[in-house]
Amino acid sequence: MEKANDEIDLLILSKTVWLQKSKLIAISSIFIFAGIFIAIVTPAQFTASSTFIPQTSEGGNGGGSLGGIAALAGISLGGMSSSDEISPNLYPKIVESEKFKSMLTKVMVKVPNASSDVTYSEYYQNYWKPSFGDLIKDYTLGLPGKLIGLIKSDRQDSTIQGLDIGIKQFSLIDQEDFERISEQLSVNPDKKEGFVELNFTMNDPVIAAQMAFSAKALLQEEIIRFKIQNSKEQLSFIQERLEERKLEFELIQGKLAKYRDSNQNITSALAKNNLEELQAEYNLSLEVYTELLKQLEQAKLQVSRDTPIFMTIRPVAIPNIKASPNRFLIVLTCAFLGLFFSLGIIFGSQFFINLKERWHQES
Virtual torsion, Cα 102, 108, 112, 114, nearest 10 deg: 90
Q: Are strands 185-189 and 46-55 parallel, antiparallel or unpaired?
A: unpaired
- Residue 215 burial (CB count, 10 A): 27
Write phi, then psi, for 317 (nearest 5 degrees).
-135, 155
Contact 67, 87 (CB under 8 A): no
d(CA 134, CA 141): 10
Amino acid at residue number 209: A
- Residue 212 burial (CB count, 10 A): 26
d(CA 107, CA 122): 10
- pTM, to two decimals: 0.65
Per-residue pLDDT of the chain (363 residues; tens, 9 = 90+): 444 454 546 677 777 777 778 888 888 888 888 888 877 777 888 999 999 998 755 544 444 444 444 444 444 444 444 445 678 888 999 999 999 999 999 999 998 877 889 999 999 988 887 665 555 555 554 545 555 555 554 555 555 554 555 677 788 888 999 999 999 999 999 988 889 999 999 989 999 999 999 999 999 999 988 888 888 888 888 888 888 888 988 898 888 888 888 877 766 778 778 888 888 888 888 898 889 889 888 888 888 887 888 889 999 999 988 877 777 887 888 888 888 888 888 777 777 777 777 787 766
Residues 193-246 have pLDDT tens digits of 889 999 999 989 999 999 999 999 999 999 988 888 888 888 888 888 888 888
